[in-house]
Structure 1
Amino acid sequence: MYELFILGQLMDHPMTGYQLRKALSSTVGPELTISFGALYPLLDKLAAAGTLTLAFKTVPPKRPQKLARITAAGRARFHTLMATPVAFNKQTQLTFQMKVNFLHLLTPDQQRATLREFHAFATQQLSQLATQRAHLAHNPHMVAADIQDALRVNQLQTVRAQAQADWVTAQLNQLTKE
């Protein structure tokens, strides 16, 4: 997931580790950002794999900064990651947010494919939440107060998932008009 984000960010222009971390925070929120202790080893790993290069950039009076620049292999890897179906796990939502962040780097057909996959995910979420709601409403193993609280959380999750599905639908409709 972070590999996709780093390569996508570098598609537009070279960036320092600090800039990459700030961009990630802007995309996924400050609570889900990557630590420098994880970011710099990942940059080194991607450089070793040949998907980016690292060079020191001197900006007086600051200390030298590592500047990452994507390679041709990195561009190819980025497009492979964007075309790879998203696995359904705890990172699915974040991965789709990252993919949406890079739609401008894709052809209209690739954009539609990415958004259709995202829509399928949102629809699946809504279906799972409806099933969960039905089980909660008639769960003999829970006390009434716990059921009510769980139904409130389910309602919040449903509103979020519905808003997401509606947003993706609007994006697909916009692409169809263009």
Structure 2
Amino acid sequence: MYDLFILGQLMDHSMTGYALRKAFSSVVGNEMTISFGSLYPLLDKLAKSGEITLTFEETDNKRPQKVATITKIGQDRFMELALEEVPVNKQTQLTFQMKLNFLHLLNQTQQVKVLKDFQASTLDHLKKLEELRLFLKNNHHMIQADIDDALLLKELQIARTKTQYDWVTALLKRVIKGD
């Protein structure tokens, strides 16, 4: 998942590790960050695989900075990652957020594929939330107060997921129309 983000960011221009970390926070929000302890080994791994090059460049303060630049191998790998199926796990939503952040790098057919995948994933999640709501309503192992609170939370989760589904559906229509 982090590979997708780093390669996608580098598709537009070369960046330092610090700039990549700031970009990550701006895309996914401040509640989730990538530590330098994770980022720099990942950059080294991508460099060893030939997906990026790392060079040191002088800065205004005469302190060299490591700058990452994507290679042709990295561009191909980005496209592969951007178009592959997203597994259902705790990173599903984040992975789709990253893919959406890079829609501008994809052609219309590729954008439609990513958006249809996101739409289907969202619809599947919505169905599972509805099933959980029904299960809670009929749960005889919980006290009613706990059921009521859990149902309130499910209501919020369903509303968020419906909003997301409506949003991706509208975006998909715009992309198909070519707007």
What range describes the TM-score normalised by the shorter chain of this pair?
over 0.9
Q: 5+ unaligned residues in a row in structure 2: which ranges?
A: none
Q: How far apart, in 2, do the equivalents of 1:123 and 1:175 lie?
A: 19
- CA displacement, residues 43-98 of structure 1 (integer Å, 9 cap, x when unaligned): 00100110000011211316321100000000000001111100111100000000
Q: Which runs of 4+ in 1 moved over 3 A?
A: none
The count of aligned residue pairs is 178
TM-score of the aligned structures, taking structure 1 as reference length: 0.98
Report the counterpart of residue 75 of structure 1 in structure 2: 75
Secondary structure in 2 matching 1:32: coil
Supply the distance in 1 between the matched residues of 2:76 and 2:172 (Cα, whole angstroms).
25
TM-score, normalization by structure 2 = 0.97
CA distance in 2, matches of 1:15, 1:159: 38
1:150 CA displacement = 0.7
Residues 62/31 of structure 1: CA separation in 2 closer, same or farther (3 Å cut): farther
Q: How does 1:137-152 map to 2 (within 5 A)?
A: 137-152=137-152
For the aligned residues, what is the CA RMSD? 0.8
Q: CA deviation at 1:139?
A: 0.4
Task: Return the alpha-carbon distance in structure 1 between the equivalents of residues 87 and 63 of structure 2.
Answer: 40
State percent identity of aligned pairs: 57
The letter of the residue matching 2:78 is F
Q: Counterpart of 2:102 in structure 1: which amino acid?
A: F
Q: After alignment, is 94-103 or 155-164 more displaced?
A: 155-164
Asked if the contact 2:108/2:176 (under 8 Å) is kept, the reply is: no
